[in-house]
Amino acid sequence: MISLHRSCFLNNSGISGSSSLFSYKLNKLPPASVKATALGPNSDTNASVLIENKAFKEITQDGTSAAANVDINLTVAGGDREVYYDDAATEDQLVTPWSVSVASGYSLLRDPHHNKGLAFTEKERDAHYLRGLLPPTVISQDLQVKKMMYSIRKYKVPLQKYMAMMDLQETNERLFYKLLIDNVEELLPVVYTPTVGEACQKYGSIFRRPQGVFISLKEKGKIHEVLRNWPQKDIQVIVVTDGERILGLGDLGCQGMGIPIGKLSLYTALGGVCPSACLPVTIDVGTNNEQLLNDEFYIGLRRRRATGLEYAELMDEFMTAVKQKYGEKVLIQFEDFANHNAFDLLAKYGTTHLVFNDDIQGTASVVLAGLVAALKVVGGTLADHRFLFLGAGEAGTGIAELTALEISKQTNMPLEEARKKISLVDSKGLIVKSRIDSLQHFKKPWAHDHEPIKKLVDAVNGTKPTVLIGTSGVGRTFTKEVVEAMAALNDKPIIFSLSNPTSQSECTAEEAYTWSKGRAIFASGSPFDPVEYEGRVFVPGQANNAYIFPGFGLGLIMSGAIRVHDDMLLAASEALAAQVTQENFDKGLIYPPFKNIRQISANIAANVAAKAYELGLATRQPRPKDLVKYAESCMYNPAYRSYR
């Protein structure tokens, strides 16, 4: 019998105790592994890694089993009592943080990647030292899902549901994803918008355990080393934010980490990307949010935001380190960066990295899909319509540009001409040529020859749009007067109120249907309940980016794409629009139900991958014959695995 257990007793002057610092004793060696357990006065839990038994075989010179050849019982500090905690040292003394002992079922129950809770079989409980650590009953994963949904539905506050889901993710990963996949329509608003917005606002007070990598200015010059601290090595998708523009809530600094965590949960649940291949990252360069800076529970750097060269150097080091560590084909998704950085980062790294900005490109793709689907209700082509946007930031200009590209593609119209069908309103009014010198660079393509207009309702009457899209981040800006003006101009006005969370939506579904007398084709960014108007029930569509980015990312991964091209975004839009059925249209929907999201994602992934192969940007060869089936085969399955 052999156990490797090192117990060092240190005082301020050095090592003290017996002449031997190692105790070898093993009561029971498991058939496959032992564990190294991190112990220390600052450890919240034991961290363990599995070590193959061959390491122990190498202890003996002839390579035979150490357990069969070694029978020693050396002790330290007298007796054979093993010291596993810091009770043998005073608080100001150092303790040895590592010991090697049998891999215990107790550790297995605390490993979220492998824990099955009460679903461990009788055989597994015997094989993995779980006897007595669980109640005697054995239940199925399906029954666990039923039980968890029963518990979650008892919570009346959405943030409590969010915290319950995050706790589950940290204790039983497969059950978390099984729960989310099976109940996606009910739980999507819990794990992502709108609840994730409140979670980010209160992240400091609800923070329990770290999920993802926090890179702050303190880590400048050491980012590659920081990435090595993350336990998973085969990373395929990174979602990164600097927290400056979280949803419509503004600068939340380090507490924006809730966004990358939520997005990557959806990459797995909706797109089938393996959770171990996902890495959430927050770049902490400070915050300009005074409330957070004065909040004792704030978890980030307490300083004003870094800008200019200091910011650029940190981001450049991060992008370089990611490529060095994970390779050319890792997808980096920029999330909730402020306008001035979002466009610059996408332009700077779009030619050297596989990068994607969901706020600019993902939003554009999902909205374009909604517009294409809506045309089947209102008639005509995109080129036949006029578009007015309230909001000229990342989302607004991104949607406008992709729409213009699609018009140009469909009609062979020059892009400059296609852009003239689209007008944008920002905080200063309609974007027109007379303002060109004062405009930010990403707004300049939308400065048309038109008299200046301040008010939105006047812009509606002046430009006479058939489509009104809100991306302003300012709630209740589509007033009754504005909606009635759209309804006066159009038999079936298309109104998209896209700002998140729900409180920032430009109008509610009920307002859009009521003020348009039931004629509006409506979609929103956050979910709204069905609306009954004059005996008819309208089901509002949700232009949620979750329709696009999980399948889009899967398509990039399965094709081995090395760059993102605009034609891939158009391919994703076309695939999503094609999933809307006549039955959906009859209910007023211009997006397919989320309950079919995995099949939707597979079709989007196939379209994106096909475009990558067509453009010569795919590296995974040969090309699969059936890309849809291949996409389905690549998807993560959260069903429990059987253990030896």
Calculate the CA dihedral of residues 232, 238, 242, 245 and round it to 10 degrees.
Answer: -140
Contact 426, 391 (CB under 8 A): yes
Contact 317, 222 (CB under 8 A): no
The residue among 317, 285, 196, 290 whose CA lies nearest residue 248 is 196
Contact 342, 394 (CB under 8 A): yes
Asked if residue 316 belongs to a known ligand binding site, the reply is no
> Is residue 630 flagged as an active site residue?
no
Dist CA 258 CA 280 (whole Å):
9
The residue among 359, 271, 366 whose CA lies nearest residue 591 is 366
Dist CA 164 CA 365 (whole Å):
32
User: Which burial class, exposed, middle or buried, applies to 52 when counting CB atoms under 10 A from its CB (0-12, 13-18, 19+)?
Assistant: exposed
Cis peptide before 135, with omega less than 30 degrees from 0? Answer: no
Query: Which of these is catalytic: 177, 192, 513, 636?
Result: 192
Dist CA 473 CA 196 (whole Å):
16
Contact 549, 364 (CB under 8 A): no
Asked if residue 208 belongs to a known ligand binding site, the reply is no
One DSSP character per residue, 530-595 reads -EEETTEEE--EE--GGGTHHHHHHHHHHHT--S--HHHHHHHHHHHHTT--HHHHHTT-SS--GG
- Residues contacting 511, CB < 8 A, separation 6+: 478, 480, 483
CA angle 632, 638, 641 (to 5 degrees): 110
Asked if residue 500 belongs to a known ligand binding site, the reply is yes
Phi and psi at residue 425, to the nearest 5°: -115, 130
Query: Which of these is catalytic: 35, 116, 263, 421?
Result: 263
Phi and psi at residue 509, to the nearest 5°: -60, -40
Amino acid 120 reads: F
Asked if residue 335 belongs to a known ligand binding site, the reply is yes
Dist CA 638 CA 641 (whole Å):
9
> Is residue 454 flagged as an active site residue?
no
- Whole-angstrom distance between the N-terminal and C-terminal Cα of the chain? 23
Asked if residue 229 belongs to a known ligand binding site, the reply is no
Dist CA 515 CA 481 (whole Å):
9
Dist CA 106 CA 108 (whole Å):
5
Asked if residue 359 belongs to a known ligand binding site, the reply is yes
| Binding site residue list for a divalent metal cation | 335-336, 359
| Binding site residue list for (S)-malate | 245, 500, 544
| Binding site residue list | 245, 335-336, 359, 500, 544
Residues tagged active-site: 192, 263
